[in-house]
Chains A and B, each alone.
Chain A
Amino acid sequence: MGASGQRWFGVGRSLAADPAKAGAEACREALGGRRAGLLVVFASLTHATREMAEAVHAEAGGDVLMIGCSTSGEFTPDGRGAGVVVNALGGYDVSVRAVPHDSVDLYEAGIRAASCLDDIDAEHRVVLLLGDGRSGDQQEMVRGAYTVAGALVPLVGGCAGDNVTQTGTFHFFSDGTEVQVLPNAVLGATLGSPVPFGIGAAHGWRRVGEPMVVSRSENGIIHELDGEPALDVYLRRTGGAPELAADPEAFLQFATVRPLGLARRTGEDIRVIFQADPQTRSIFGLADTPEGAMVWFMEADTDSLVDAAPAAASAATAALESEPLGLLVFDCCVRSLALGGDGTDLAAARLHDAIKPTPYSGFYSNGEIVRKTQAKGMHHLTVVALAFG
């Protein structure tokens, strides 16, 4: 299913307290009186309701493809906030899929989400994925999607957020008529165009100190580093107070901005640490950190973190052959913790400066997705941008 004719991209935002009202307002602004082929909705957890999703869909005429997800905050050229952002796209060939939580394993979920690619025959295609960083190893989902997409079609997207509450996420979906609100789902949308799409990614973190070997780990839990209990090594090397181990909230705040980096052929994969077990002296990562791997502590200064957002966006627009019509940006929610309020505002401002006057929107995500040459799939503490030409 799709549309044809002039391509366009519109963004609307509303911070209205009532979710349905905010959804309708944001959608109206994004459409600007036009008929959209696809809506991409980002809504804060407070606004992630069925009423909101139905209001957005109805505002666009009630017969339109829609994907979307809950966030840990959204941003547009108007700034950042917690409400509803609607992106409306016209002139692209589009097809969508939804895979409910636990209906299949994540690898199969990736295959099914990306199978919307089968419906689109265009010179340039991209698969936009909205995953759920809380349900297992999303790299498996990306691997499944890659078996469908292959070398020719890039995968890009992000994982839904939950205002960093660790409670659960929601996805909004419509394949034309019915509107669905699905907890912890995986959604896919294929877009086809006669001109290329642009993709960029940046993180701004760098290695610090000597490497360590993950001498024992299992399913994302790191038991030992260099043969010592992982928690002890972690606190010693980061200078963390021993009391942190017994205070989950304080440990989360401390550890999320002190990630580990996994050795890769080109650079490193970042692993966010978010929890510790003071009894077993282990630490928990958001994604698997395999036994035998070599890891570094990663650090970043405010400037390099701030500049990751404009860098990703500029790389995405630079890959286009034409003027950018719009961008979608997936910005890791943990970066906001590292940057603080002012730093996050600065990143948003520099992003705006880098690509103005192009319309864009993004959200603070729980994992970022890019699978193309030189990029493995799931990323963390990263900014990913998709530019539409």
Chain B
Amino acid sequence: MSGWSTLQLTEFFSAITRAGTIVTAARLAVQRATESTDAEVAAVVCGDDVPASVGLGRTPSKSLFTSLDPGTDTATFPSVGPMHVSVHTLDRDTTDRLIVARADEPFAAEERQMLQGMARVLGLALRGLRTLEAERELRLEREREAVARLELLQALERRERLLETLLRVQRSANQRTPLAEVLDMITAAASGLLDGVPVALVLRDAVASVSSGCCDTDALIDAARRAIAGGGPVDCGRLTAAPVHIDGDVAGALVITAPSAAAGVRESEGRDVLAAFAEQASLALTGAHTLAAVHEARHDPLTGLPNRALFLQRVEEGLDAAPAPGTAGLLYLDLDLFKQVNDTLGHAAGDELLRAVAGRLRAAVRDTDMASRLGGDEFAVLLEPLHHRGQAREIAQRVIDSIALPYDIAGRTIHTRASVGIAYSGGRSAERLLEEADLAMYRAKRTSKGTFREFEPDMRPELPQAV
């Protein structure tokens, strides 16, 4: 369930997109910011001007607000006395900011994050409105060329599209869409707005979501690390990264490839989109509460191994990246005697055995391979890269030998063994590859438990209907 802050932000989105002038948008922002945080005072500062303020009467001195810079956390206002303050810049290129002040208690991390989101949306709205006002003047003056006018309109259209997209993602986040889907939506939407450049979300040194398009994972992670270390947006070759927060702590980064000049997207717009979507990702992640939720969404809670969904996604990506036949392989493992352990020693012992098997499996495969628990007592391993079939057989045997060593569980010595099926890549989907490895495993289990078999096309009809 989403927190109250994301809901407030959604309402804010809806309201601000209806504002027709800069003053109206600023007025809406100060109203909504105070109402949603039970604050008494708020102002929007643009340069030396204060287009809207609330809480200190109709014409408070502008310097009361223009003197407050980002990082200020308390301020004293005439008659009202000392207040807790939260200051949020509207965009990277200016010092324009949203200031909110409250008497009773400091702003919590979630509230500051929400206010930052509001500030960011206001910044985008103000830019759009300024562009619109510029366009109006342009029409009156009739001095510029038609090309420039068209460019402005296009920029405006893109801003409107950005706001609409943010709103759409925000609504999905509120409608209890699974986190993984929301994250995918964020990278896909950001990519869509930037004419399809690759966009990736990196969390704790792993790519959690990537838009369609080919990316160099190491370069992405490197760019993300720099953004995390720097605490702000960084340019890193053709990549630009902005940190993503969970409950106010840096947890990762959103990374985009610099749009090419030919794509017609200006560099500053790329940065705006990055900043807006990094806020969006932070809110979605904070809504999901903890990093554990991120991990759990794609990992088996018992063994910590990637779950079926993540495994299939990785296999699909691997197959896309290296489509040549035989360059990747897949092992499908099924434990013999697992049911007996569960039935005689209980589920706790069964769980412990599964954890131990997972540990041995992880140790028996190479660093570049990926082990996964598909469910029950079934595991799978993606073997990549693969230079020849002998390599796969060697790893399969190593896995079988390792799993067959005795286990010490609940004061008892327990034996189990794995039957393994092997399938090789080549013009087939991840699902199909997994099915072939499963058929091969079934053949091994039927003919000689505790061995491996490689998939052959004639194994297909043998799948019994009831299994």
Contacts and interface: CB of A to CB of B under 8 A. Distances in A.
Given A292-B10, A373-B104, A151 B171 contact: no
Contacts of B36: 264-265
B454 interface: no
B23 interface: no
Contacts of B2: 294
Interface stretch (B54-62, B194-202, B418-426): B54-62
Interface string B70-85: 0000000101100000
Contacts of A291: 10-11, 14, 171
Interface in A245-280: 263-266
B105 to A, nearest CB: 11
A264 to B, nearest CB: 7
A242 interface: no
A151 B4 contact: no
Given A211-B1, A265-B36, A292 B174 contact: yes
Contact of B57 (A148, A373, A376): A148
A151 B40 contact: yes
B56 A376 contact: no
Contacts of A266: 38
Contacts of A322: none
Interface string A133-172: 0000000000100111111100000000000000000000
Contacts of B7: 263, 292-294
B103 A150 contact: no
A373 B4 contact: no
Contacts of B38: 265-266, 373-374, 376
Contact of B104 (A149, A290, A374): A374
Given A263-B4, A292-B170, A150 B55 contact: yes
B35 interface: yes
Given A152-B79, A292-B170, A293-B7, A265 B55 contact: no
B58 A373 contact: no
Nearest to A269: B35
B311 interface: no
B31 interface: yes
A262 to B, nearest CB: 9
Contacts of B4: 263-265, 294
Interface string A205-248: 00000010101000000000011000000000000000000000
Nearest to B5: A265
A151 B174 contact: no
A200 interface: no
B277 interface: no
A79 to B, nearest CB: 37
B10 A151 contact: no
B13 interface: yes
Contact of B58 (A147, A213, A227): A147
Contacts of B111: 265
A151 B31 CA distance: 13
Given A265-B4, A373-B104, A148 B58 contact: yes
A364 to B, nearest CB: 27
Contacts of B41: 150-151
A293 B35 contact: no
A146 B41 CA distance: 10
Contact of B55 (A151, A211, A264, A292): A151
Contacts of A227: 175
A377 interface: yes
Contacts of A377: 35
Interface in B42-95: 54-58, 77, 79-80
Contacts of A211: 1
Interface in B142-183: 170-171, 174-176
B107 to A, nearest CB: 11
B303 interface: no
A213 B104 contact: no
A143 to B, nearest CB: 5
A151 B56 contact: yes
Given A151-B80, A294-B7, A294-B174, A265 B37 contact: yes
A290 B14 contact: yes
A151 B10 CA distance: 26
B165 to A, nearest CB: 15
Contacts of A152: 79-80
Contacts of B11: 290-293
A209 to B, nearest CB: 13
B300 to A, nearest CB: 28
A265 B36 CA distance: 7
B103 A213 contact: no
A211 B79 CA distance: 41
A290 B56 contact: no
B19 to A, nearest CB: 13
B15 interface: yes
A111 B41 CA distance: 17
A150 B104 CA distance: 16
Contacts of A373: 38, 40, 103-104
Contact of A150 (B10, B15, B56, B175): B56
A149 B176 CA distance: 39
B331 to A, nearest CB: 42
Contacts of A292: 7, 10-11, 13-14, 170-171, 174
Contacts of B8: 265
A155 to B, nearest CB: 12
Nearest to B80: A151
Contacts of A149: 57
Interface in B1-28: 1-2, 4, 7-8, 10-11, 13-15
Contacts of B31: 143
A146 B14 CA distance: 22
A30 to B, nearest CB: 33
Contacts of B79: 152
Nearest to B57: A150
A27 B425 CA distance: 94
Interface in A288-318: 290-294
Contacts of A111: 58
Contact of A147 (B54, B103, B170, B176): B54
A144 to B, nearest CB: 10
A43 B31 CA distance: 34
A158 B103 CA distance: 26
Nearest to B37: A265
Contacts of B176: 213
Nearest to A114: B58
B84 to A, nearest CB: 12
Nearest to A372: B40
A253 B365 CA distance: 69
A148 B55 CA distance: 8
Interface in A189-216: 211, 213, 215
Contacts of A374: 38, 104
Given A147-B58, A213-B175, 14 more contacts: A143-B31, A147-B54, A150-B40, A150-B41, A150-B57, A151-B103, A263-B7, A264-B36, A265-B111, A292-B11, A293-B11, A294-B2, A374-B38, A376-B35
24 contacts: A143-B31, A147-B54, A148-B57, A148-B58, A151-B41, A151-B55, A151-B80, A152-B80, A215-B171, A226-B175, A227-B175, A264-B4, A265-B38, A290-B11, A291-B11, A291-B171, A292-B171, A293-B7, A293-B10, A294-B174, A373-B40, A373-B104, A374-B104, A377-B35
Interface of B: 1-2, 4, 7-8, 10-11, 13-15, 31, 35-38, 40-41, 54-58, 77, 79-80, 103-104, 111, 170-171, 174-176
Closest A-B pairs by Cβ, 9 of them: A292-B10, A151-B40, A290-B11, A151-B55, A150-B57, A150-B55, A263-B4, A376-B35, A294-B7
